[in-house]
Chain A
Amino acid sequence: MEAHPADSNTLARYLDTGGYEALRKALKKMKPEDVAAEVKASNIRGRGGASFPTGVKWGFLPPDTRPRYLVINGDESEPGTFKDRMLLERDPHQLVEGIAISAYALDVQQAFVYIRGEYPKPARRLQRAIDEAYEAGYLGTDILGTGFDLDITIHLGGGAYICGEETALLSSLEGRRGEPRLKPPFPAIEGLYAKPTIVNNVETISNVPWIVANGGAKYAAIGPETSSGTRVMSLSGHLKKPGDYEVVAGLTWRDLIYDVGGGIRDDRELKAWVPGGASAPWFVPAEHLDTPVTIDDIAKQGSMIGSGAVIVMDDSTNVVGAAHRLVRFFSHESCGQCTPCREGTTWLERILDRILNGYGRPEDIGLLLDVCDNISPGLSWPPAMTTICPLGPSATAPVVSIMRYFRDEVEAMIPTPVGATAASADGTRGEVAGD
Chain B
Amino acid sequence: MERVGRSPVTDDRSFVTINLDGVDVEVEAGQALIDAAQKAGTYIPRFCYHPRMNAAGLCRACLVEVEGPRGTALVPSCTLPVGDGMVVHTKSETAKKAQEGVLEFLLINHPLDCPVCDKGGECPLQDQAFAYGPGESRFVEEKRHYEKPIEISDLILLDRERCILCARCTRFSDEISGDPLIEFKDRGNYVQVITFPDEPFASYFSGNTVQICPVGALTAKPYRFKARPWDIDGVESVSLVDAVHSRISIQTSHNEIIRIYGVDNDATNHGWLSDKDRFVHNHVQSDGRVTTPMVRENGELVAASWADAIGLVSERLASYDSSTVGGLGGARSTNEDAYAFSKFMRSVVGTPHLDAQLADGLDPVFATSVVSRAAINDLESARTILLWGPDLKEELPVLYLRVRRAATELGANLVVVHPRRTGLDDVAAEIIRYKPGTGSEVLRKLIAGEGEFANARAILSEGPVVALVGRTGLTEDPDTAEAVAAFALELPEAKVLPLMRRGNVYGALDMGVAPALLPGRVAIDDADGRAALEAAWGPIPDGPGLNSTGILHGLAEGQLRALVLNGSDPVRDHPIPSMATAALENAEFVVAFEMFISDSSAHADVVFPVAGLGEVEGTATNLEGRIQKMNRIITPAGESRPVWSIMNDLALTMGSDLGLTSAEAISVEIADVAPVYAGVTWDALSWGPGREGVVLPGPDGTQPIQYIPTDRGVPVIAGHRILHTSRVLYDDGVMVRHSDGISGLAQRGAAYLHPRDASMLAVTDGDEVVVQLDGAVQLPVVIDPDLTEGTIYVPFNLAATAGLGAVGTLRIDAVRGGDA
Residue of A nearest to B107 (CB): A343
Q: Flag B82-124 by CB within 8 Å of A: 1 or 0 each.
A: 0000000000001001100110111011000000000000000
- Let me know if B74 and A343 touch, CB within 8 A: no
Chain A residues lying within 8 Å of B188, measured Cβ to Cβ, are 331-336, 342, 345-346
Residue of A nearest to B101 (CB): A374
- Let me know if B59 and A339 touch, CB within 8 A: yes
Chain A residues lying within 8 Å of B141, measured Cβ to Cβ, are 347, 350-351, 354
- Let me know if A342 and B165 touch, CB within 8 A: yes
- Let me know if B191 and A342 touch, CB within 8 A: yes
Q: How large is the interface on A (under 10, 10 to 19, 20 to 34, 35 or more residues)?
A: 35 or more
Knowing A342-B191, A346-B188, A347-B141 touch, does A337 contact B97 (C-beta < 8 A)? no
Interface residue B79 (Cβ < 8 Å from any Cβ of A) = yes
Give Cα A182–Cα B5 distance, bound, in whole angstroms.
Answer: 15
Interface residue B57 (Cβ < 8 Å from any Cβ of A) = yes
- Let me know if A160 and B187 touch, CB within 8 A: yes
Chain A residues lying within 8 Å of B199, measured Cβ to Cβ, are none
Knowing A340-B101, A343-B108 touch, does A430 contact B58 (C-beta < 8 A)? no
Interface residue from A184, A346, A374 paired with B97 (Cβ < 8 Å): A374
Give Cα A110–Cα B795 distance, bound, in whole angstroms.
Answer: 48
- Let me know if A339 and B60 touch, CB within 8 A: yes
- Let me know if B138 and A343 touch, CB within 8 A: no
Q: Flag B62-77 by CB within 8 Å of A: 1 or 0 each.
A: 0100000000011000
Interface residue A66 (Cβ < 8 Å from any Cβ of B) = no
Give Cα A225–Cα B541 distance, bound, in whole angstroms.
Answer: 100
Interface residue from B94, B102, B136 paired with A339 (Cβ < 8 Å): B102
Give Cα A386–Cα B76 distance, bound, in whole angstroms.
Answer: 9
Knowing A160-B187, A336-B165, A386-B63 touch, does A377 contact B98 (C-beta < 8 A)? yes
- Let me know if A337 and B102 touch, CB within 8 A: no
Chain A residues lying within 8 Å of B57, measured Cβ to Cβ, are 182, 388
Give Cα A387–Cα B75 distance, bound, in whole angstroms.
Answer: 10
Q: Flag B187-209 by CB within 8 Å of A: 1 or 0 each.
A: 11111000000000000000000
Interface residue A131 (Cβ < 8 Å from any Cβ of B) = no
Interface residue B130 (Cβ < 8 Å from any Cβ of A) = no
Interface residue A344 (Cβ < 8 Å from any Cβ of B) = yes
- Let me know if B187 and A335 touch, CB within 8 A: yes
Chain A residues lying within 8 Å of B190, measured Cβ to Cβ, are 336
Chain B residues lying within 8 Å of A347, measured Cβ to Cβ, are 105, 108, 139, 141
Residue of A nearest to B164 (CB): A339
Q: Which of B696-734 contact A (CB under 8 A)?
A: none
Give Cα A351–Cα B60 distance, bound, in whole angstroms.
Answer: 23
Chain B residues lying within 8 Å of A107, measured Cβ to Cβ, are none
Residue of B nearest to A333 (CB): B188
Interface residue A429 (Cβ < 8 Å from any Cβ of B) = yes
- Let me know if A184 and B1 touch, CB within 8 A: yes
- Let me know if B184 and A339 touch, CB within 8 A: no
Query: Within the complex, what minimum Cβ distance (angstroms) separates B606 from chain A?
Result: 62
Give Cα A332–Cα B190 distance, bound, in whole angstroms.
Answer: 9
Interface residue B555 (Cβ < 8 Å from any Cβ of A) = no
Residue of A nearest to B95 (CB): A377
Interface residue A296 (Cβ < 8 Å from any Cβ of B) = no
Chain A residues lying within 8 Å of B187, measured Cβ to Cβ, are 160, 162, 333-336
Give Cα A83–Cα B63 distance, bound, in whole angstroms.
Answer: 38
Chain B residues lying within 8 Å of A345, measured Cβ to Cβ, are 188-189
Knowing A339-B59, A339-B61, A386-B60 touch, does A374 contact B136 (C-beta < 8 A)? no
Interface residue A177 (Cβ < 8 Å from any Cβ of B) = yes
Give Cα A339–Cα B107 distance, bound, in whole angstroms.
Answer: 10
Give Cα A228–Cα B240 distance, bound, in whole angstroms.
Answer: 72
Interface residue from A334, A337, A339 paired with B105 (Cβ < 8 Å): A339
Interface residue A143 (Cβ < 8 Å from any Cβ of B) = no
Chain A residues lying within 8 Å of B1, measured Cβ to Cβ, are 184-185, 190
Knowing A182-B79, A333-B188, A367-B138 touch, does A338 contact B59 (C-beta < 8 A)? yes
Q: Which of B173-195 contact A (CB under 8 A)?
A: 184, 186-191
- Let me know if A385 and B106 touch, CB within 8 A: no
Residue of A nearest to B63 (CB): A386
- Let me know if B184 and A177 touch, CB within 8 A: yes
Q: Flag B589-608 by CB within 8 Å of A: 1 or 0 each.
A: 00000000000000000000
Q: Flag B521-533 by CB within 8 Å of A: 1 or 0 each.
A: 0000000000000
Give Cα A375–Cα B97 distance, bound, in whole angstroms.
Answer: 11
Q: Which of A292-344 contact B (CB under 8 A)?
A: 331-340, 342-344
Knowing A331-B189, A337-B58 touch, does A386 contact B101 (C-beta < 8 A)? yes
Q: Which of B256-286 contact A (CB under 8 A)?
A: none
Q: Flag A363-393 by CB within 8 Å of B: 1 or 0 each.
A: 1000100000111010000001111100000
Residue of A nearest to B93 (CB): A377
Give Cα A184–Cα B4 distance, bound, in whole angstroms.
Answer: 12
Query: Within the complex, what minimum Cβ distance (angstroms) separates B140 from chain A?
Result: 8
Query: Within the complex, what minimum Cβ distance (angstroms) separates B346 from chain A?
Result: 61
Q: Which residues of B contact A (CB under 8 A)?
A: 1, 57-61, 63, 73-74, 79, 94, 97-98, 101-102, 104-106, 108-109, 136, 138-139, 141, 164-165, 167, 184, 186-191
Q: Which residues of A contact B (CB under 8 A)?
A: 160, 162, 177, 182, 184-185, 190, 331-340, 342-347, 350-351, 354, 363, 367, 373-375, 377, 384-388, 429-430
Q: Which 10 A-B pairs have the closest CB atoms?
A: A374-B101, A336-B191, A334-B188, A343-B105, A350-B141, A346-B189, A337-B58, A336-B188, A185-B1, A339-B105
A-B contacts besides A333-B187, A336-B184, 17 pairs, CB < 8 Å = A184-B1, A334-B187, A335-B187, A337-B167, A338-B58, A339-B58, A339-B61, A339-B105, A340-B105, A342-B188, A343-B108, A347-B141, A351-B141, A374-B97, A377-B98, A430-B136, A430-B138
- 18 A-B pairs in the complex with CB atoms less than 8 angstroms apart: A182-B79, A336-B186, A336-B189, A336-B190, A338-B60, A339-B58, A339-B106, A342-B189, A342-B191, A343-B106, A346-B188, A350-B141, A354-B141, A367-B138, A374-B102, A377-B74, A384-B73, A430-B138
